[in-house]
Chain A
C-alpha cells in the first residue's frame, strides 16, 4: 500500500516535470534580446544582382516598415521560412530587404531563382560584418524597422507560424 502511494506520487511528479520541460522547450527557443529601439546605422555593400555599391540610406526610404532578413543559401531554416517571406512581399506597405550572409554568390543567386525573390534588394554580406553590426545572432534573423529607422522587433531563428502572426500584427 505504502509502495503504491509512493509509486503513484512519483509518477505524478515525473509527469509534472515532463510537462513543464516540454513547455519550456517550446518557450525558450525564441529568445529575443533587448536590442530594439536602436537606430540602424548606415551600411554599404554591393547588391547581389548588380555590381554597384548601394547604401542603406538610399534604400530605407518611402515606406512605413522595412524588414531586414538575414539569410544564406546554405542555411536550412531559411528555406523553411522562404514561403512566408514570399507571402510578405505582397504587402505594399512593407519593403523587404535581404542581407545575404557569408554565402557563395552563385549559390545565393540559384537559391533566389529557384524559390523566388521576395526582396526588393539584396545586400551581399560576404564577411558577415553588416549582420554583426545589426546585432545578429545567426541565420536566419528578421528585423523589423519603422520609418524612423528604429528597430522595433527582432525574430531570431526562422519565422514559424506563431512569429509570422506576431509579425503581421505589428505591420497592421
Chain B
C-alpha cells in the first residue's frame, strides 16, 4: 500500500522536475559561457531518480502482491514464483511504459554527463528535444495508463500473469529491447539539435556513433531474446513468423543498421548529411510507431496488449506530433550547402555504404508495407487480408543474392580512393570451393526451390570470405569483421535450417508407436505432476532414428490455475547440428494426443550467429570507450 503511494507521488514529482528543466534550459541557452548550468544536470538526475523510485515502488507492490493496485491485481497472483512477480512488473502495458520512462530519463542524464566535450548549445537543445519526448510519455503514463490505480475493496487474489509470458527469456526481453528503442530517441534528439545548430559534422558523427552502437547492440539482443522465446515457448517450432509485432522491432533495426553504416562515412567526410539525419529521425519514429501498433490494438496479433482506444489515440497523435516536429526542424534549419564538395568515386567505400543503405531501405519498405498494408486496406476498402511469410520470402530472397555478393568485396574497398586490392588467388579458390560444396549438397539432397539453389553457393562464399577475414592477422576493423562474419553465419544457418528441417504431425495414444522413414516415435506413458502454480501432464516419448538409437523426450501440458490456461511446453533436445522438437496437445474428449515432432537443423547456430553479430557492435563500443 505504502509502496503504491510512494510510487505514484514520486512519478508526479518526476513530471514536475521534467517541466522545471525547460525554462531553466531556455534561460541558460543564450548565455555565452561554455558550461551548462549545474542545476540542469541535477534536475535531470532528480527526474531519473523519481522515476526510479516510482518503478521500485511498483516492483515492491508486485513482490508484496498488493492487490489494491489495479496493475498488480490484473497481472499477478500470490502463488507465482518471485522471479515472475518481479518480471510481471514490466510484463504488462502500464508497467512496461513506466520502464520506457525510466530508461528515457536515465539515458538523457547519461547523455548530459558524458557529452562534456560537445558545444553547450547543442547539448541543451538535445536535452530540450528529449524533454518533449519525456513529458509526452509522462502524460501518457499518468493520464491513460497509470500503473498505480487504486482498487477498493482490495481483492484477496490477483488474476495472474499469462503463463506464456512466464519465461526467463521473455522476462528480460522487454527491458533490453527498450534500451535499444530509447537509445534511438537520444540519437533522434541529438540529430535535431545538431541540425538547428548546424553541427552535423565529423565530430558530431564521432560523438553520436557511440549512442547508435548502444541502441543497435541492445536492439539486436532484444530481438534475439524475443525470437528465442517464440521458439521455446510458443511451441510452433519456428523462430520468426513475420508477425506484425516482430516486424515492428525489425524495422527500427534495419533503419538503425543503415544509420550505423552511414555514420561511418560522415565520420570521415562531411557528406550524406541529409541522409544521416533522415535515418536518425526514421529510426526513432519507427520505434514509436512500433509502440503504437502494439499498444493500440490496431493489429490483431498474438502479442497485442491493451485494447483501450484512448491509449492508441494518444500515441498516434504524439507520434505524428514528433514526425511534424522533426520535419519542420529539418526543412527550416538544415542547409545542404555546408558539406564538402568532394567527388565520390565509384569504387570507394562511400559508394558501397550508400548501396548497403539502399538494400536496407528496400528490406525496410518490404517489411513496412507488409505490416501496414492490411490496416490501410481494411480502412479504405473494408477488406481483411493477412500478409504472411510467402510475401516476405518472395520479395526479400531475390534481393538477398546481390546483397550477399556485394558484401563479399566491399570490405576490401578503400575510403575515398577508387582502388581495389588485386584479386588474390585464395579468393577465387574460396569461390570455387563454395560452388563445389553447394553442388554436393544439391546432389545429395536436392533443393525444392530455385531461389534457394542460387542463394546457397553465394551464402557459402560470403561465409568463407568473412571467416577468412576474421582469422587473418590484420586486426584492423576487427569489430566489423566479427559482425559481418556473424551476419553471413546467420544467413547460412537460416538457409540450412529451412532446407533440412522436417516435421511429422500425428495423433497418438498411450502405448502406440508410429514409424516413419528414418525412424519411429513411441508414446510410452503419461505422468502427472504438480508445479508451484500449475498442474502438469507429462508424456514419455521415445524417438528412434535410422540406426535404432533412441532419445527420450517429455513434452508437457501445463494447466495453470490462475488464470486458468493450458499451455503446451515443447521438449527440445539440442545438439550441435539439429534440435529434436516434440510438442503434444490434447484432443478434446479423447484419449489421443496430437503429437508434433520436428527435426530442426542448425537451430543453435541461429542464436549463436546473432550473438556474434551483436558482439561485433559491442566490441566496437568498448574499443571506443577504451580509446577515450
Q: A residues within 8 Å of B by Cβ? A: 3, 7, 10-11, 14, 18, 20-29, 31, 74, 102, 104, 106-107, 127-129, 132, 157
* B-chain residues with CB within 8 Å of residue A14 when the two chains form the complex: 320, 323-324, 327
A21-B316, A25-B312 known; A107+B375 contact, CB < 8 A? no
Q: A11-B327, A104-B155, A104-B156 are in contact. Are A24 and B73 (CB under 8 A)?
A: no
Interface check B331, CB cutoff 8 A: yes
Chain B minimum-CB-distance residue to A23: B379
**Chain A neighbourhood of B564, CB < 8 A:** 127-129, 132
Q: How far apart sit A44 and B298, CA to CA, in the bound complex (Å)?
A: 37
A103 → chain B closest CB, angstroms: 9
Name the A residues within 8 Å of B378 (CB-CB): 24, 27-28
B309 CB–A CB distance under 8 Å: yes
Residue of chain A at shortest CB distance from B561: A127
- B285-297 CB contact bits vs A (8 Å, 1 = yes)? 0000000100011
Within 8 A of A (CB), among B302-357: 307, 309, 312-313, 316, 320, 323-324, 327, 331
Q: A26 and B309: CB pair below 8 A?
A: yes
Complex Cα–Cα for A26 and B156 (A): 36
Min CB gap B563→A, angstroms: 8
Distance between A2 CB and nearest chain B CB, rounded to angstroms: 11
Q: Is the CB of B379 within 8 A of A27?
A: yes
Q: Which of A10, A25, A128 sits near B296, CB closer than 8 Å?
A: A25
How far is B296's CA from A67's CA once the two chains are assembled, in angstroms?
Answer: 29
CB distance from B328 to the nearest CB of A (A): 9
- Residue of A at shortest CB range from B307? A29
Interface contact A74-B151, CB-CB below 8 Å: yes
Whether B159 and A28, one on each chain, are in contact in the complex, defined by CB atoms closer than 8 angstroms, is: no
Q: Is B83 an interface residue (CB 8 A)?
A: no
List 8 additional contacts besides A7-B331, A28-B300, A74-B73; criterion CB under 8 Å: A11-B327, A21-B298, A25-B309, A28-B375, A102-B159, A104-B153, A104-B155, A129-B564
Q: List 5 A-B contacts (CB under 8 A).
A: A21-B292, A22-B316, A28-B297, A29-B297, A127-B564
B275 within 8 A of A: no
Known: A20-B375, A128-B564. A3 touches B331 (CB 8 A): yes
Proximity string of chain B (554-565) to chain A, C-beta cutoff 8 Å, 1 when within and 0 when not = 000000000110
Q: Are A25 and B313 in contact (CB under 8 A)?
A: yes
Interface string of B132-157 (1 = CB under 8 A from A): 00000000000000000001010110
Interface residues of B, dominant DSSP:
helix
CB-CB under 8 A from A127, the residues of chain B are: 564
Task: Determine if A20 and B379 form an interchain contact, defined as CB atoms under 8 angstroms apart.
Answer: yes
A25 touches B320 (CB 8 A): no
Q: A18, A24, A102: which has the most chain B beta carbons within 10 Å?
A: A24
Q: Is B380 an interface residue (CB 8 A)?
A: yes
Tell me if B376 is interfacial: C-beta within 8 Å of chain A. yes
**Alpha-carbon distance between A96 and B173 when the two chains are bound, in angstroms:** 45
**Among A14, A21, A157, residue most surrounded by chain B Cβ atoms (within 10 Å):** A21
Bound together, the chains give a CA A14 to CA B320 distance in angstroms of 8
Nearest-CB distance from B324 to chain A (Å)? 7
Q: Which residues, 367 to 423 on B, are CB-close (under 8 Å) to A?
A: 375-376, 378-380
Question: Which of B468-513 touch A at CB < 8 Å?
Answer: none
Complex formed: what's the CA distance from A127 to B376 in Å? 40
Nearest chain A residue, comparing its CB with the CB of B155: A104
B293 to chain A: closest residue by CB: A21
| Residues in B whose Cβ lies below 8 Å from that of A74 | 73, 151, 155
Report whether B298 and A25 are in contact in the complex, using a CB–CB cutoff of 8 Å. yes
Q: What's the Cα separation between A104 and B156 when bound, in Å?
A: 9
A171 to chain B, nearest CB (A): 25
Determine how close the nearest CB of chain A comes to the CB of B443; give it in whole angstroms. 49
| Smallest CB gap from B331: residue in A | A7
The reply to whether A157 and B375 form a contact with Cβ atoms under 8 Å apart is: no
Q: Name the contact of B320 in the complex, choosing from A18, A23, A26, A102 (C-beta under 8 A).
A: A18
Q: How far is the CA of A120 from the CA of B320 in the complex (A)?
A: 48
Q: How far is the CB of A62 from chain B (nearest CB, A)?
A: 33
Assess whether A157 is in contact with B307, with CB atoms less than 8 Å apart: yes
**Beta-carbon contact of A31 and B300 below 8 Å:** yes
The interface residues of chain B lying within 8 Å CB-to-CB of A25 are: 296, 298, 309, 312-313, 316
Say how far B303's CB is from chain A's closest CB, in angstroms. Answer: 15
- Is the CB–CB distance between A18 and B309 below 8 Å? no
Distance between Cα atoms of A11 and B331 in the complex (Å): 12
> Which residues in A have their C-beta under 8 angstroms from that of B292?
21
Distance in angstroms from A31 CB to nearest chain B CB is 6
Most interface-central of A7, A25, A129, A157 (chain B CB within 10 A): A25
B337 to chain A, nearest CB (A): 12
Assuming the contacts A24-B379, A28-B300, A127-B564, asked whether A18 and B327 have C-beta atoms less than 8 A apart, the reply is: no
A104 surroundings in chain B (CB, below 8 A) = 153, 155-156
C-alpha gap A28/B375 in the complex (Å): 9
| Interface pairs A-B: 6 shortest CB-CB | A23-B379, A24-B379, A25-B312, A24-B375, A20-B379, A18-B320
Would you give the shortest CB distance from A143 to chain B, in whole angstroms?
A: 18
Q: How far is the CB of B135 from chain A (nearest CB, A)?
A: 21
How far, in whole Å, are A136 and B39 apart by their CA atoms in the complex?
55
Bound Cα distance A8, B307 (Å) = 34
**B375 contacts A21, CB within 8 Å?**
yes
Say whether, besides A27-B379, A74-B155, A157-B307, A7 and B298 are in contact (CB < 8 Å).
no
Residues in A whose Cβ lies below 8 Å from that of B156: 104
Closest chain B residue to A18, Cβ basis: B320
Q: Are A24 and B298 in contact (CB under 8 A)?
A: yes
Cβ of A23 to closest chain B Cβ, rounded Å: 5
Contact B316 A7 (CB under 8 A): no
The residues of B that contact A11 with a CB separation of less than 8 Å are 324, 327
In angstroms, how far is the closest chain A Cβ from the Cβ of B162?
12
B3 to chain A, nearest CB (A): 21
Q: Is the CB of B316 within 8 A of A18?
A: yes
Query: When chains A and B are docked, how far (Å) is the Cα of A18 from the Cα of B312?
Result: 12
Q: Is the CB of B298 within 8 A of A107?
A: no
Bound state CA distance, A107 and B378, in angstroms?
41
Nearest-CB distance from A60 to chain B (Å)? 24
Closest-CB distance, A1 to chain B (whole angstroms) = 13
Task: Report the minimal beta-carbon distance from B295 to chain A, rounded to whole angstroms.
Answer: 11
Q: Are A28 and B327 in contact (CB under 8 A)?
A: no
Cα distance, A29 to B312, chains bound together (Å): 10
List residues of chain A with CB within 8 A of the CB of B299.
Answer: 28
Report B-chain residues with C-beta under 8 Å of the C-beta of A21: 292, 298, 316, 375
Tell whether, in the assembled complex, residue B376 and residue A20 are in contact, meaning their CB atoms are under 8 Å apart.
Answer: yes
Complex CA gap A14/B298 in Å reads 18
Chain A residues near B312 (CB, 8 Å)? 25
The complex places the Cα of A31 from the Cα of B151 at a distance, in Å, of: 28
Q: Which residues of B contact A28 (CB under 8 A)?
A: 297-300, 375, 378
Q: Which residues of A contact B323 (CB under 8 A)?
A: 14
